[in-house]
Each structure stands twice: as C-alpha cells, then as structure tokens.
Amino acid sequence: MAVPIVMPKFGQMTEESTIVEWFKKEGDPVVKGDLLFAVETDKSVMEVESFEEGTLIKIAVKPGTSVPVQSIVGFLGTPGEPIPEVPKPAAAPKPAAAAPAIAPAAKQKVAAAPSPSALAVATIATPPAQFRISPRAQALARESVIDPTRIKGSGPEGRVVEKDVKAYLAAKGYGRLRVSPSAKRLAAKEQLDLLSIPTKDGRIGVVDVERAAAEKPVPMTKIRQIIAERLSHSVVTAPHYYVTVEADMTELVAYRAALKKAGTIFSLTDFIAFAVVLTLKEFPQFNSATDGQTTRWKSRVHLGLAVSVDQGLMVPVVWNADELTMTEFSTLSKALIEKARAGKLSPDEMNGSTFTISNMGMLDVENFTGIINPGEAAILAVSSVIDKPVARDGAVVIRSIMKMTLSSDHRLIDGASAARFMNAIKTRLEDLETWKPLT
C-alpha cells in the first residue's frame, strides 16, 4: 500500500512551507534516513529525510509550490502499485501576529513521517484545477514564444486548443511584430513572452529582449515575502514614534579594551544588550505587547538580536536573558549569532522574542530607525561608535559617541516613558560602576 509523504510542521507558527527541490526522482529507491526534499519555511530551508523505505512512486508537489503543513507531497510504495489521487490541500490559516523571527536559508534535517490524520483530511478535499493545453496548441505557443497560460481555453474542461492560440495571437497583433531570429531565440531561452516585451515600432531586437530580461520580475523568496508581510503589518497597525539619545562610550570602550588585555573578552554588543536587559526589568511595559484592545505582559525577557545575512534578516533569541549572568549571556548570544550566520538555527531558536535589538554599529552608520516586530512593543536601533568633538567642562574634546534610536508602539508607550527608558540605558552604558561587578 502506498505510504503518503507529508509536509512536516516546523515550529508552532509555521502554517505552510515551500518545496525548494527534490533530492529523489520518481522511481528512485528510498531507505530510512535518505534525504527526500528541501523545504523553505518563513524562517529557514530544511532538508527532510524519510522514516520509511520503498520507492518514490509519486511526486505530488513540484519545486516552488507552497502548501500547508501536513499536506501530502508524495508517495512511497512499490513500483506499479496504484497511487491514490492527491487532493488539493486546504488553505493554510493566517498566522496570528507574532515576533517575526526572520531567518535566512538554514539547512537542517527533519524526518517526514506519514500522517494518518493528514491523509484522512486530504481525501475529502477537492482536486486542484489544472492548466490543460493540446499538443498542437502547445507547439504553436512554443514556436511563437508566448505564455499559453494567459489564454482562455475553449476546449473540454477549459483546455486550450490550437484555434485559441491563433485567436489570441491575432487579437494581440502578433502578426505585426517584426522579431529578429536571434531575438526570438534569446526570448525563448530567457522564458520571456514576446508579447510582453515593450516595443514602439513593432520591432523586437536582441537589445529589447536583453532589456526585458534585465527587468523581468523575480519572485521574492518565501523569507522576503514574510519580512514584507509582517513588517508592513507592523507599520500599518502599530503607530511608530522615535526617541534618539547619544551615549558617551569613551570610558566603556577603554574598559572593554582593558578586560580584553586581561583575557576577558566581551563585545560592545554584549554591554549594550545586557544594559537593555537590565533596563527592561526596570521598565516592564517595554517588554510587553498590545493588539490595541489588551496588553500582554511578559514575565521573562527573551531578547531578539537581529542579524543580517545574504537572504534577509534572522533574529536569534536569547531566552530568559534576565536570568543569565553577563558571561552566560555573552557566550549564548555569540553561539546563536554564529549559528545564524552559518544558517544552522532551529525554529525554536528564532521564536518568542519579547524585545529586539538591531545593531548596525559595524557598518559605519550614524543613525537609523527600526520597524517594531509584531508581537513586541519596541525595537532598539544601535548605530556606530564615532569619535566626535563634544563640549565637556567648557572645553571641546574628542569622545566616542554612539546614537541609539528607540521605535515604540504609541498605543502602549508614551513619549515620556520612552525618554526615561532610553536615558536609563544611556546611564548604564556610561557608568563603569554598573559593569565592574558584572564582568
């Protein structure tokens, strides 16, 4: 009996995932532990391995297709045995607003166990609609270098037939186009529809095709789509306002250098993040969230540290940061950041943040603002430490100055509270007596 392969669920907030590639072809033998396919979620790309043995007799979900978790994506079995009809999976429910825990492509292995419940649900669903086209119509569309999926079919069950393609070409004025053979070949290679290439005089040359190829829309990755969706939602639903302070980091930079010389290594991020943790315990409203009707108070500080990688942003989370010593915090945060950059974070290590820090200090940035992660009340944007002339005791001196900007949700936090919160962080960073017992 054919055994269904289902889309695993990666973390509590994951409702759908996209198959990136299959590592096996239909007809390939599969043993336990073999990698079957790679999946892109809103947080990472993971490799899924098999719990079962057999032959991959059906690939039901092609690469690039997004389906809800627990959907059937293929079948294992014996060559030649009947393959159950694969129904259209139910639409994934919209996830509730939560901390985005945005991550790039991180490859991990997850076992794809068959799910009886998924099979039971799937058998009552409606089969998916399919694009149908006759061989002659397909050949004409290919010869004309056009996208036949744009054509409404007049054949049985909406099938596109040759006369539909001819009518479409005539209606679009295809016969008036003058396309050089080399341009036509290039358009076919680039998978461009000739009718979508702008032309003023009806002539399409290689330059026109190259320009169209350069401007061809590229689908956003699942990760970038999630970033766009969640942060757009945050900007629209949470009224942002901003408070900026400058911290004089001169003494702390010198103190950190002395510690390093003595063999104790902390980064500036360690000091900044730990100052935030201490301040969040003093100002609990910044460690909470609101939906506009209620406030959700968080009893623990789970600190998110935004990390930029090639595919986007990743936010590893230091859980229970308020219960850690500074040394423990430094060790754990460094390990998480290294895993983030190596693409090895698990979903659990990217979930549950209550407050986020975005530090661009290493990028020579004087000032910037952040967008609040959904499910949080604020985000702190930390800029570079820059040597500047400042007035001290009636004289102009050079000091190491760092700007920090807090983005707050005005539904929950007012300006005076934000100012006090920021100045509390500033005071801690500028007071060495804060750090001596902690380091």
The predicted-structure confidence for 57-100, as pLDDT tens digits, reads as follows 999 999 888 888 889 999 999 998 888 877 665 554 444 444 33
Residues 6+ apart with CB under 8 A from 146: 165, 168, 169, 174, 193, 194, 195
Q: Which pLDDT band, with edges at 50, 70 and 90, does 109 fall under?
A: very low
Statement: residue 349 has pLDDT above 80: yes
Class of domain 3-122: mainly beta
Per-residue confidence (pLDDT) for residue 38, from 0 to 100: 86
Helix (H) / strand (E) element for 328: namely: helix 326-342
- Which conformational region is residue 83 in: left (phi greater than 0), alpha (psi within -120 to 50 degrees), or beta? beta
Number of Cβ atoms within 10 Å of the Cβ of 23: 15
- CB contact burial 56-86 (16+ within 10 A = b; e otherwise): bbbbbbeeeebbbbbbbbbbbbeeeeeebeb
CA angle 47, 53, 57 (to 5 degrees): 85
Would residue 34 be called left, alpha or beta, if left means φ above 0 and alpha means ψ between -120 and 50 degrees? Answer: beta
- DSSP sequence for 182-214: HHHHHHHHTT--GGGS--SSSEE-HHHHHHHHH
Tokens (6 digits) for 102: 């945005």
Mean pLDDT in residue range 121-139: 63
Alpha-carbon separation of residue 252 from 109, 118, 248, 324, 363 (angstroms): 43, 56, 8, 21, 20
What does the domain layout of the chain look like in residue ranges? 3-122, 135-214, 238-435
Distance, in Å, from the CA atom of 218 to the CA atom of 146, rounded to the nearest integer, reads: 18
Residue type, 406: L
pLDDT band for position 216 (cuts 50, 70, 90) = confident
Angle at 344 between CA 23 and CA 230, to 5 degrees: 95
Q: Which amino acid is at 117?
A: S
Q: What is the pLDDT of residue 12?
A: 58
| Average pLDDT of span 371-384 | 95
Residues 6+ apart with CB under 8 A from 53: 30, 31, 32, 76
CATH match of 238-435 with 3.20.20.80 = no
pTM, two decimals, is 0.64
Q: What pLDDT was estimated at residue 220?
A: 78
Question: Does position 140 have pLDDT exceeding 90, yes or no?
Answer: yes
pLDDT at 2: 87
Determine the Cα–Cα distance for residues 266 and 247; give it in Å rounded to an integer: 18
Highest mean pLDDT among 112-121, 188-197, 275-284: 275-284
Tokens of 230: 């969640």
Distance CA 153, CA 132 (A): 8
Whether 410 sits among the annotated catalytic residues: the reply is: yes
What per-residue confidence (pLDDT) applies to 59?
93
Contact criterion met (CB below 8 Å) for 77 and 138: no
Amino acid making up residue 262 = A
Q: How confident is the model at residue 210 (pLDDT cuts 50, 70, 90)?
A: very high
Q: Name the pLDDT band for 15 (thresholds 50, 70, 90).
A: confident
Pick the most confident of 106-115, 219-228, 308-317.
Answer: 308-317
| pLDDT at site 39 | 85
Annotate 171-203 with b (16+ C-beta within 10 A) or e (fewer).
eeebeebebeeebbebbeeeebbbbebebeeee
Q: How confident is the model at residue 290 (pLDDT cuts 50, 70, 90)?
A: very high
Per-residue pLDDT at 439 exceeds 50:
yes
